[in-house]
Amino acid sequence: MTTPALALALSLPRWGRQRGTLIAIAVLMVALLVLQAVSQSGITYFDISTISASASTLALAAMGETLVILSGGLDLSAGAIVSLVNVVLVTQLGQSTLGPEAFTLAALGLALGIGAAIGAINGALVAYVRLQSIIVTLGTMFLAQGAALLIMRFPGGTMPDHFSLMFTGDLIRDGLPAPIVVLLIALALWLYFRNTRHGTALYALGSDEDAARANGVDVRRAKFLTFTLAGTCYGAAGLFISAQMGGGDPLIGGRMLLQIFAAVVLGGTLIGGGRGGAVGTVFGALTLTTIVSIFLVLGVRTFYTPIVEGVILMLAVLGFSVGRHWPIVAVIRNLRRTLVALRNGSLPTRFKPIGAPLSFTGGTVPAALPNWLARSRATLRYALPAYGLFIVALALTIALNADNFSPLGYLNTLLTLGAFLAILGLGQGLVIISGGLDLSVPWTITFPAILVTTFANGVDASSAWAVPLALAAGLGIGFLNGSAIVLFGLSPIIVTLAMNGMLEGAALVFSGGAPIGSSPPWLVWFVTGRLGGLAPLGWFLLGFVVVATLVINRTAFGRRVTAIGNSVLVARLSGVRTGVQIVGVYMISGLCSAVVGLFLGGFTNQAYFGMGDPFLLSSIAVVVLGGALITGGRGHYLGIVGGALLFTGLGIMLSGTVLPEAVRNIIYGLVLLGAVIALRERSTG
Amino acid sequence: MAATGLSASSAVAADKVKVYASLGFEGNTWMDASLNLLKAISQTKGYKDRVELEVQSARGNAQTQIQQINGMVQAGAKVIVAWAISPTALNRAIRNACQKGVIFITWDAEVTEPCAYHVGINQDWAGAGPAEWLADELKGKGNIIFMGGIPGNMVDTRRNAAAKEVFAQFPDIKIVADTPSMWNAATAKQELAKIVATQGWDKIDGLWTQTGCYVFVELQVEAGRGDKLKPCAGNGTNGHRVAQLAPGSVPGGHGFRSASMGSPPWAAPFAFKLAMKKLDSGEDIPKFNEIPMPLVTPGQTVYCEKADLAELVAKDWACNAVPLTLAASNYYIDVWSPWVPELDLYSALEAKVPAGQ
């Protein structure tokens, strides 16, 4: 049988595997068609060249992120490495007198070398010290950002024109833009890599690490290589952006991270690993850039861009997963069955159980439970280091300010500022323990805060409905997050990322450009007033911690969440209604963010855009510092509270000094890395 | 140009001069006021019939702003008025615009590309001016907190360096804490709270800051120290200016000893006017157009009940504060100027064109 039919039949499954990439291409085609339709002169060479130039930095960095995600990890250091490479190139080569060829070679070597070196550090810590990738890269992100600020304190410098033209000019005038060639070369290298043994190992690793190991893949080496290659990609992105800018800016990569995730996801790569590829990522980056051009031609207020981006992201991801066992199908089927059973009277709960429940006999029952210390040893081991480090920070603070340290003042600030992180830590912590991640924290803080200051506007009476409305908004956001994740089986990262963008747009539209109003006086008093020496929020925090600890560690709900984090399947087979629990977890996270939004609004007596931004990474950091496992299944709320105290205590210690921000970044990075190294599992590897 | 009938209206639109506003970010009252003033000036009688203003925001992403500037040039922009995210990232896009004959002018946030024009305050003086006042106020002696903006930003670096140069001349002035505010009032307040937690109020004699003299007042009032406020030199909002007035004289007056500077939002419409002047006359304009920086010290606050054009003219443009019911305490109030005599407070608040303009 050598008929074309057979060939087609054989090739079909292969195409099925490439569906993500195909949809990514289709989405770009649709975007380009829209651009063609709305612009007067159609798509011109100019459009192609400007879109490819604008997309290249993003595409190169997102290719690196794709590698890490395919292997089952997550890399937060991408943007900071781009910044670092940019400032090193400008400071080391900007004044160089090398000829064009030598200059380009030197720049390439420097950029790719720095990227690979930091990637190798990430890789070594993840592969050989067995740390969680998200927290390692959070640490190196701080380190790289600090180093960038040390090397270049403010934007400046120049790169020679020949260098810029080489990467961003025309290879053939009005025929072939150089960025297209850059992207093609990167893609060729990727395709070559994918078909090597290392490429296969990468996919195997992301699909099932144990299976990969059992099949003879050197898992550690594969991980190390993945992060090193990813770092090289960020180096290439740093090189390209240096050419595009023709100068240096130590903050240039800072805001790239969420866009990088968006490009990867839009490219059809599955968060969690094993499926997807860098070809789709490049198309994803091109799509994001094309959307900017469409809005420019249409002259639409940019208010709507984040909403449209969020919607496109969600639609594309839904497209990737169409028919691929959407849980919503089973949910509807089960509902129908339940209805039928209800009508027939055959609902299982109506029957009495037959016989006595199984009793466990034959096993040896311990005479007495081991004492508390023995039972809690494991929990203490990962919850205590945060408190230990906090005490170190406290001791240093007292030593540095011996002559005028006021314990009550310190405690009040610690509790007030720590409360923001401790409350967020509950929501983010539950999400992480259940195996997810909530990236919608920034705008789930900001949007409810804007609702309250706008509607209550300094009047206590109006807050009677404005505050419940804002809290309901937080719950509603969480409900939408959780439902999308559960009903369509989507990755939490994508859903919450898209939600964050849509909320940003909604807040812009709602407030018409800039939020107005002020917080109701009672809320201001609650956060900044005094009640027995402390702010009422401080007392509230104490009660909050007790209640939250009991809920997480002493209720069936808390145990179910932990069970889900360990394995959704096992939890479900054990009778946990996993979907309902997960939606509940995201609703709690949404509520926690909204509460923090209200308190933060009370703290500053206003709401404004960006007020939630600093809390995304810090909410993740406190959870991990508190000993929770980022991959889920482990965590104690008291540990997370310790993480919040440590993060706040460290901030108080550093703020009272005259250290430059670069050094502070580096200290944060070292503390994070030190803490996770101390916390790492000492299991056999 | 005297178009009659509906069919001609699109042709007229095509004949209009295309002016683009490229905003690096969006979403605070300062940028909102700048944008409203730009819209208002384009609707005054000098420009209404011949200028078409379009606005794009890059939402903090330098790549997006580069792409938008390229797109504006391609779409036939004659003038681009920009607030640049980065002083270096846009340079090549700007050079391309200049080569195509576009007048590229920035306000407040400068770029290093030499073909661009700029309207803004002297950023060195923005740091040094308030620092000199604070040093005088403290009689050259005391412990101060130093709060910059965003580390790594050029404006931030210049202001900080100039201010520190001033303080270095006073050996008895000691910077006891140096921390960034990220130009974010909530961050500023959190950082100040942290500093006070370790240093205590008694040791601190004053604050030099790029954001948040007003939150400094709030913190002291919350700590029960509202009767002996410590001096502050820094960025001025309406609440800050009002707080400078004597207690009881107006709602919000605290008799606050402070120096209040600011980068005025009216720089945006002034940049628009300058670029249009160059386009109309063909005469060159200076590359750097320094505008006066407001530096309001105690006794210089001029409280105006309405700040409409009539009152502004009647008070010879001396107004620098309005009732908190008109503009919130966090509103950057330097939105009017005799340099842009067509506009008033309501142009900034609602993009309204004053009657007769």
> pLDDT per residue over A438-447, tens digit each?
999 999 999 9
Chain B residue with minimum CA distance to A160: B92
In whole angstroms, how far apart are CA A53 and each of A177, A179, A328, A351, B308?
8, 5, 41, 67, 47
**What is the domain count for chain B?**
2
Q: What is the mean pLDDT of residues A511-532?
A: 88
The 10s digit of each residue's pLDDT in B13-64 is 558 999 999 998 877 788 889 999 999 999 999 999 999 999 988 888 888 8
Convert the pLDDT of each residue in B299-356 to its tens digit.
999 999 999 999 999 999 999 999 999 998 888 999 999 999 999 999 999 999 998 8
A31-40, A344-353, B128-137, range with greatest mean pLDDT: B128-137
Residue finishing a domain among A250, A269, A300: A300
Q: Is B88 on the interface with A (CB under 8 A)?
A: yes
The DSSP bridge partners found for residue B105 are: B81, B117
Q: Judged by CB atoms within 8 Å, which residues 282-301 of A form the interface with B?
A: 289, 292-293, 295-297, 299, 301
Q: Report the pLDDT value the prediction gives residue A13, as an integer from 0 to 100.
A: 46
Out of B32, B72, B90, the one facing A513 most closely (by C-beta) is B32
Q: What's the number of domains chain A is made of? A: 2
Q: Quick one: B20 and B91 in the same domain?
A: yes
Judge whether residue A2 has pLDDT over 70: no
A42 close contact with B: CB closer than 8 A? no
The residue among A58, A165, A174, A292 with the most chain B CBs within 10 A of its CB, best to mutate, is A292
- Answer yes or no: is A314 within a domain: no
- Quick check: B105 and B118 in contact, CB under 8 A? yes
ipTM of the complex: 0.85
Work out the minimum CA distance from B303 to partner chain A, whole angstroms.
Answer: 21
Residues B131 and B47 in one domain: no
Residue A349 lies in a domain: no
In a domain, A675, yes or no: yes
**A359 within domain boundaries:** no
Helix residue ranges per DSSP H, chain B: 9-15, 29-42, 62-74, 91-99, 123-137, 154-168, 185-199, 213-222, 238-243, 267-281, 309-314, 345-350
B39 and B86 in a common domain: yes
The whole-number pLDDT of residue A323 equals 60
| Residue A398 phi, psi (nearest 5) | -65, -40
**pTM of the model as a whole:** 0.88
* A11 pLDDT higher than 50: no
CATH code of A589's domain: 1.10.3470
Query: B52 with B64, same domain?
Result: yes
Contact B89 A245 (CB under 8 A): yes
From first CA to last CA, the distance across chain B in angstroms is 21
Q: What whole-number percentage of chain B has pLDDT above 90?
A: 64
Determine the 3-state secondary structure of B272 from DSSP: helix
Looking at the structure, do residues B98 and B32 belong to the same domain, yes or no? Answer: yes
Cα–Cα dist B96/B103, whole Å: 11
The whole-angstrom distance between A423's CA and the closest CA on chain B is: 16
**Domain range holding B246?**
123-261
The shortest C-alpha distance from B151 to chain A (Å) reads 7
Q: Which residue of B has its CA nearest to A40?
A: B75
Evaluate whether residue B76 is within a structural domain: yes
Selected for mutation to probe chain A from B55, B56, B88 (highest A CB count within 10 Å) is: B88
- What does the alpha-carbon distance between residue A433 and residue A427 come to, in Å, rounded to a whole number? 10
- Tens digits of per-residue pLDDT, A279-321? 999 999 999 999 888 888 887 766 787 888 888 888 887 877 7
Q: Measuring CA to CA, which residue among A247, A179, A216, A226 is closest to residue A69? A: A226
Q: Is residue B307 part of a domain?
A: no
Q: Is A336 part of any domain?
A: no
The alpha carbon dihedral of A610, A611, A617, A620 has a sign of negative
Q: CB contact, 8 Å: B178 with chain A?
A: yes
CB contact under 8 A, A152 and B64: no
Question: Chain A contact for B229, CB < 8 A?
Answer: no
Say whether residue A458 is in contact with chain B using an 8 A CB cutoff: no
Residue B215's closest chain A neighbor by CA? A604
Comparing alpha-carbon positions, the chain A residue that sits nearest to B85 is A252
Domain boundary among A300, A328, A362: A300
B143 touches chain A (CB under 8 A): no
* Structural domain contains residue B345: no
A71 Cβ contact list (under 8 Å, min separation 6): A202, A205, A206, A222, A223, A226, A273
* pLDDT tens-place string over residues A181-216: 999 999 999 999 999 998 999 999 888 888 899 888
Q: Is residue A643 part of a domain?
A: yes
Task: Quote the domain boundaries for residue A576.
Answer: 380-403+418-679
Helix axes A45-70 and A78-93, enclosed angle (nearest 10)? 120
Do residue B149 and residue B208 come from a single domain?
Answer: yes
Residue B346: closest CA among B322, B315, B318:
B322
**pLDDT at res. A233:** 97
In terms of C-beta density within 10 A (0-12 exposed, 13-18 middle, 19 or more buried), how is residue A6 classed?
exposed
Buried residues in B202-211 as b, exposed as e (16+ CB within 10 A): eebbbbbbbb
* Residue B84's CATH number: 3.40.50.2300
Is B242 inside any structural domain?
A: yes
Rg of chain B in Å (alpha carbons) = 22
For the packed helices A521-528 and B213-222, what is the interaxial angle rounded to 10 degrees? 80
Interface of B with A in 25-64 (CB under 8 A): 26-29, 31-32, 35, 54-64
